[in-house]
Structure 1
Amino acid sequence: MNSGTMDFSSGRKKSLTNTQTELYRHHLQFYDQPPLENISLGEFEAFAVDRLKLLKTVENVGVSYLKGSDQYSNKLVSELKSLNFPYRPDADDRKPQTGPSEHDKRRKDHISHFILRLAYCQTEDLRRWFIQQEVDLFRHRFDELSPQQKLELLNRNNLQYATTSVKEKILLKDELLNSSYNVSGITVEEQDFYKVPFQDALDLVRARKVYLKAGYVYIPQKDIVTIVLNDFRTRLSKSLALTARSLPAVHSDERLQPLLNHLSHAYVGQDYSIQKNVGKISLDQIDSLSGKSFPLCMRQLHQSLRENHHLRHGGRMQYGLFLKGIGLSLEQALQFWRSEFIRGKVDADKFDKAYAYSVRHMFGKEGKRTDYTPYSCMKVILSNPPSQGDHHGCPFRHSDPELLKQKLQFYKVPASGISQILELVKGMHFQLACQKYFELTHNIDDANFSLNHPNQYFIESQKVLGGGKEIKREVDTAQRLQENSATKGSAATREPAADASKAEDEMTEDLDSYFQDA
């Protein structure tokens, strides 16, 4: 590495030309081979910004449309066309092109992925967000492949599962039809089935979508994406853990550290932790607000606390940080939790000794003095699932469908709306289910935002109910970058058919200006 270039070669001796030719011959890869070339610092920065723009687009489309639907796929294809990343598996470099060649797009895709690994390996939340968007992008690209291209991808990445013979398919015809096969117009004999060890397809087994026999499952080609995605996710997760080990060396480079830090902040938008109006939410408002403006996850936590006068640690953290985010001060928080716990089986002395510390800890007044931020939807959905006796988590993700139905009925959600919500939950579209809950409980047809944070839900609810403008917050320069990103990203989904790319362009302009000024 020198002052003008970044060296990705890591001392490898492989033939650069041959390796690049092989890497960039294909529309889709697992990113197992790191880049083996020098690039300029300017290109490094440009690729990083464009990759972030790509992943933000994937996220915005994913919370605006049902993943896997035709609308979702068509919108994503439309958005990707303007981003100079690969989007068509049948693209041919030999055809005349007005813009970057397919080779250039695939090179950019490959290198930019590894650049963002450096930015997003730093914390669990960052890794979770990065993996989710990369998996969604991979799934879309995989679905665009032809059956032959899918088979080639499996073979290239040592996912060489045996296809079931015609004879065996005929013998198992009834079982295959009853368990997993449901494509009209195509017979069992015409469709490829893969014979896969059951431990490699636990999600499909759990959902009873495949036929299981003698330790193997029979997966129709249309469902093999589940296996591929599990493998891709596992590889990427391990790679991020390895990348994190190199962070001390990266952080010692004064050119890269501020760049990577700003990139990693840009995804989350507002963190809802530092506000000018701390204390303006009074304790006697909480009961009323919980019924009008709390998302279902916080509403159930509040109700459980009022009924049982206690929450376990996971619930206290999730709910306590949410209340902090809507404006509850440390003094109010201590008063709130103390009064509630004392009504239960905890006396004042025990509360002060066993629980007050954790409340002060949330506000950065104890321990490492970290100013903890409220949990995003993704963190609530993907981390720390609730156990028996817990009340935290996402009701749409972690509740039994029948219990969720009863809860929605109790909160007077109309029957037609409950059916819509349960259908979204069945498709694992938990944030969309919560957004539908928002629309139904606020009596509006379109929420006009893409929901990704419980505190965002609260603020948007207050706007709809006439509770005033969005809570203003004091932010430093880094947080202002986050707020701009979130505000513009939200605006993108208000007109999902046209504005997502425009909003992401604006978001990256902020980063570009930072790069130019640095």
Structure 2
Amino acid sequence: MCFYLKPPRGGLQLHILEETINQRTNLLNDLIKKKDLPTNFNCLIDGTALDRTGHFILRILSVKEVPFTICMKLISSFEVEMRKGIAFIPCSKWKLLLQELYMFYLKLECDLLLNNSGFLEVFDDPRFEYLIEKRRKIQIDKDVPIITVDKIEQEVEKFPLCMQILHTTLKREHRLHHDDRVNLTLFLKNIGLPLNEAITYWKLEYDKPSNHCTSCSHQWKDSEKRYVYSIRHMYGLEGSRRNYGCRNCTQLQDDAVSVRSCGGCPFKLYSNSSLKKLLEERNCSEEIINGILTSRVHDSRDACKLFVKYQRQSNQSMTNVKNINFSNPVHRMYINAGEPANASDVNFTE
């Protein structure tokens, strides 16, 4: 028997798999009890597919009890049983456990790297920037298309209302309040807008003279370095190089709307008349508008769910409002695009 690093490939009939496990278990028991070795060991020959399979299956079967601290998502969603700090993982949840373990240790290693000054210096190396740019051109996942500036207008109708407002305000006034600019940048980043496209997106608007409705008088040509640095910072390539994510719905609902800002959750923060006007501009029926205005009294997220239903019906895709769940504008975007509400955020930091 060997210790293998690479898992087996291919398929195996259940009765052969069972025999492989039995032979390996019996051998381990005999070794522990110092008994004579068994004569039937055709599944235990070093280097064979059966020996490799038996090794990995027993490794998996041994993961039955784990500390609750490494499977917090499973615990919080009540998907596993826990007693005295130990989580008991059924076989149907092993895949989820492995995913959570992977993300746990990946985050741990990333945090260690970010605290390593030598690692941060790598990002200032022009060779590394060249590699980032080359990698950006490779579409990693065929199911997650990269969004470009010229395609944003086609995607706007799928945006949650909070982000639609920011985008249309930017197009109309060519400027946004600082917090609104941050929120829109992070949203676009997380739905797949690469760094160079984000720079182009903001440059196209800030190159134009500001509308009289905004007090911002900055021009792109005069403040290009500052704007580019700010965008690169939000993409995790400057400063502390944190991988910033889009703000969640609760944070947007708690925003204090200022005179210059148009951000935050419109279902929570806007007046009935202002929200009604926005919905009418998007051709919502009177029934939908009245339903949204009623729902917002109890829960602004329920009102947003009704707007989701309107958008999905417009796209010939019906959705049961009760089954709609999202935690931030990016998840909300996936719902409109027909993806599961719990889809992982797309994140292009290059």
Tell me the TM-score range normalised by the shorter chain.
0.5 to 0.7
2:241 is aligned with 1:369: yes
Matched with 1:425 is 296
Q: Distance in 1 between matches of 2:189 and 2:274?
A: 29
Q: Distance in 2 between matches of 1:472 and 1:439?
A: 21
Q: Distance in 2 between matches of 1:362 and 1:413?
A: 34
Q: Distance in 1 between matches of 2:244 and 2:146?
A: 20
1:9-408 aligned within 5 A:
45-46=67-68, 48=69, 53=74, 55-56=76-77, 276=140, 280-291=146-157, 293-345=158-210, 346-382=218-254, 384-408=255-279
> What SS is found at the alignment partner of 1:310?
coil
> What SS is found at the alignment partner of 1:463?
coil
Q: Distance in 1 between matches of 2:203 and 2:145?
A: 17
- Tell whether the 8 Å contact from 2:189 to 2:347 is kept in structure 1 after alignment: no
- Tell whether the 8 Å contact from 1:341 to 1:351 is kept in structure 2 after alignment: no
Matched with 2:331 is 456
Q: Distance in 1 between matches of 2:191 and 2:309?
A: 21
How many equivalent residue pairs?
223
Matched with 1:205 is none
Matched with 1:9 is none
Q: Which digits, 9 at most, give the CA deviation of each residue in 1:58-89, with x for residues without a partner?
A: xxxxxxxxxxxxxxxxxxxxx9xx968xxxxx
- Tell whether the 8 Å contact from 1:413 to 1:441 is kept in structure 2 after alignment: no
Q: Distance in 2 between matches of 1:290 and 1:463?
A: 15
* Change beyond 3 A, Cα 1:54–1:406: farther
Report the identity percentage.
27
- Runs of 4+ that moved beyond 6 A: none
Structure 1's unaligned 5+ residue stretches are 1-41, 58-78, 85-103, 113-257, 263-273, 465-469, 476-518
Question: How large is the RMSD of aligned CA atoms in angstroms?
Answer: 3.6
Q: Which has the higher contact order (CA 8 A, sep 6+)?
A: 1
> What SS is found at the alignment partner of 2:240?
coil
- TM-score normalised by L of structure 2: 0.55
Matched with 2:61 is none
Q: Distance in 1 between matches of 2:262 and 2:209?
A: 17
Matched with 1:446 is 320
**What one-letter code is carried by the residue in structure 2 that aligns with 1:284?**
D
Q: Which has the larger radius of gyration?
A: 2
* Change beyond 3 A, Cα 1:49–1:372: closer
- Tell whether the 8 Å contact from 2:191 to 2:330 is kept in structure 1 after alignment: yes
**What one-letter code is carried by the residue in structure 1 that aligns with 2:164?**
R
Structure 2's unaligned 5+ residue stretches are 1-63, 87-103, 109-135, 211-217
- TM-score normalised by L of structure 1: 0.38
**What one-letter code is carried by the residue in structure 1 that aligns with 2:248?**
S
> What SS is found at the alignment partner of 2:222?
helix
- Tell whether the 8 Å contact from 2:190 to 2:346 is kept in structure 1 after alignment: no
